[in-house]
């Protein structure tokens, strides 16, 4: 390789690393906004985030970045290895996306998203969708404008999906979601009509927050989360953020009358956190080491939450710890009863509290509404009524307030349209990954019963976390599971598990 080309690559790495570190600062600002920022700082924070987004945009679109990438990409005999070429390819994509958008639009979107978050928090607490509707309409309009700049040949909603699920479009997602809808609605109905109802009274009571915190932290540590390179706090909406694999921030929320919601939120966010902490050791400030897509990220959190923590071996292992922590509730509870109780299925109003059978319907509802917002067939002011109608059709429940309906999620306030499909695509990947784990380690359920969770983390580390962006999603899934994205695997898993729990034929 020519020395000049090698120097160009090092210059690119320097620029990418600097942008990554500034992005890390942005991550901490977002975390702070959600966790500890005083409410009165909302306007100044919006301006800070807008300014930093502008600086990052300038760095990403700097003419020298374009010149470097042109020389690196046009060299026919470049001699770059897979790791290096991945950085060049990712930087090239990012550059071309960024140069198609003006700094003004970038700053406007960042500021509006930050401001909209505060408006949403207030509207949600006061059950006033009408207060949120104008800024939501502005966000949709700006995201359509953004899509026209970045991906002029794509439908606006596909362009927004591509940010989270590169390469996926409505043409890929809609048939999968239609299949899930067709098969899950009857399963949900059969579960509701079953004469057998798992006993759950021991999950009700008073659970002191400090005991919940200690329990969540212990299980998170046993899963492998490194608290010297991460922390756990409280936020309105549980999430995983931070600035770097050595600074991963996870959050949960607590209710004194329900410890299950908090505990499983901790397990879920720990799954995300392990992905971030488990990234490849080299190039941690470079695109090559970053998580692949949001669905792959979500597959990791759902793998731990659903496949592992809601499985029989995990329930058997951790029941004694729960009985020790909440002795009044768990005196005579068996592992089988606990397993059934944490896998109770039934329609609920809140997505983040939904079980794994009903959860996909919450996602499909949001996906269909977003499609309508972006193709113009749905107006923002009609969202509450459409939301409630779809909830009734898909889950048989109707939200009594917008706080419990259309205002419940933070995503739209941040302009994160196209994000929701990732949750259910992630659930499908998780079920496929779990089958692959069982094939690779046939004794894994016995290991879980013994409290040995290390083999799971290590297997996910080598198979997924350390792969970074070296492979496309289809190639990664094929490499790990031997097949493509397969909703049948997920549906079989749900049907087998819940027909057994609910004594269905």
Distance CA(273)–CA(410), nearest Å, equals 20
Distance CA(248)–CA(284), nearest Å, equals 13
What is the DSSP code (8-state) at residue 41?
G
34 classed as catalytic: no
Does residue 443 sit in helix, strand or coil?
coil
Distance CA(226)–CA(210), nearest Å, equals 20
The separation between CA 458 and the C-alpha centre of its own chain, rounded to angstroms, equals 21
Q: Which of 347, 338, 469, 356 is nearest to 423 (CA)?
A: 356
Alpha helices in 61-169 (DSSP H): 63-74, 82-99, 103-126, 129-150, 156-164
Question: What DSSP line would sit under 367-427, residue for residue?
Answer: HHHHHHHHHTSS-GGGHHHHHHHHHHHHHS---SSSTTTTTS-SGGGGT-TT-THHHHHHH
Q: Which tokens go with 132?
A: 């949120």
The single residue of 111, 261, 269, 290 carrying the catalytic annotation is 269
Strand ordering across the sheet containing 230-234: 230-234, 247-252, 240-244
Q: Which of 92, 57, 58 is nearest to 72 (CA)?
A: 92
Distance CA(217)–CA(227), nearest Å, equals 9
Q: Which tokens go with 14?
A: 């320097």
**Residue/partner pairs of 163-166 with CB below 8 Å, 24 or more apart:** 163/418, 164/293, 164/294, 164/295, 164/416, 164/418, 164/419, 164/421, 164/422, 165/293, 165/294, 165/295, 165/418, 165/421, 165/422, 165/425, 165/473, 166/293, 166/472, 166/473
Question: 30 Cβ partners below 8 Å, 6+ apart?
Answer: 49, 241
C-beta of residue 337 within 8 angstroms of C-beta of residue 357: no
Q: Which tokens go with 450?
A: 């013994």
Catalytic residue set:
269
């Amino acid at each position: 390789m020519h020395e000049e080309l090698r120097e160009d690559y090092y210059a690119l790495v320097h620029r990418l690393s600097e942008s990554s570190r500034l992005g890390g600062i942005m991550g901490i600002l977002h975390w702070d906004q959600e966790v500890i920022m005083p409410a009165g700082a909302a306007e100044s924070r919006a301006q800070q985030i807008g300014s930093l987004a502008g600086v990052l945009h300038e760095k990403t679109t700097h003419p020298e970045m374009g010149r470097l990438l042109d020389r690196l990409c046009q060299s026919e005999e470049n001699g770059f290895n897979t790791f290096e070429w991945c950085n060049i390819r990712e930087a090239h994509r990012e550059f071309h996306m960024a140069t198609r958008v003006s700094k003004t639009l970038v700053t406007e979107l960042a500021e509006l998203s930050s401001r909209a978050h505060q408006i949403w928090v207030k509207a949600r607490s006061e059950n006033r969708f009408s207060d949120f509707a104008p800024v939501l309409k502005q966000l949709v309009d700006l995201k359509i404008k953004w899509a026209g700049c970045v991906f002029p040949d794509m439908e606006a909603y596909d362009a927004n999906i591509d940010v989270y699920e590169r390469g996926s479009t409505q043409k890929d997602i809609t048939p999968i979601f239609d299949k899930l809808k067709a098969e899950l609605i009857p399963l949900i109905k059969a579960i509701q009509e079953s004469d057998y109802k798992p006993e759950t009274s021991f999950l009700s009571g008073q659970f002191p927050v400090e005991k919940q915190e200690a329990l969540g932290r212990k299980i998170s540590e046993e899963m492998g989360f490194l608290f010297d390179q991460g922390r756990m706090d409280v936020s309105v909406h549980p999430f995983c953020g931070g600035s770097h694999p050595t600074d991963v921030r996870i959050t949960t929320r607590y209710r004194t009358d329900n410890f299950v919601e908090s505990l499983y939120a901790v397990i879920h966010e720990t799954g995300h956190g392990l992905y971030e902490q488990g990234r490849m050791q080299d190039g941690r400030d470079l695109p090559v080491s970053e998580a692949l897509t949001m669905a792959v990220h979500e597959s990791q959190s759902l793998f731990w939450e659903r496949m592992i923590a809601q499985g029989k071996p995990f329930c058997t292992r951790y029941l004694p710890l729960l009985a020790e922590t909440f002795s009044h509730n768990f005196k005579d509870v068996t592992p089988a009863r606990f397993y059934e109780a944490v896998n109770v299925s039934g329609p609920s109003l809140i997505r983040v509290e939904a079980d794994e059978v009903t959860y996909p319907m919450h996602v499909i509802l949001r996906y269909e509404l977003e499609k309508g917002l972006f193709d113009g067939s749905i107006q923002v002011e009609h969202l509450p009524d459409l939301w409630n109608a779809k909830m009734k059709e898909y889950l048989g429940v109707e939200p009594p307030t917008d706080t419990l309906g259309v205002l419940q999620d933070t995503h739209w306030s941040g302009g994160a349209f196209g994000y929701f499909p990732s949750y259910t695509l992630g659930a499908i990947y998780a079920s496929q990954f779990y089958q692959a784990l069982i094939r690779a380690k046939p004794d894994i359920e016995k290991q879980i019963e013994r409290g040995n969770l290390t083999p799971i983390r290590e297997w996910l580390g080598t198979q997924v976390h350390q792969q970074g962006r070296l492979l496309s999603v289809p190639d990664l899934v094929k490499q790990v599971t031997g097949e493509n994205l397969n909703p049948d695997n997920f549906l079989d898993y749900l049907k087998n598990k819940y027909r057994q729990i609910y004594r269905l034929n």
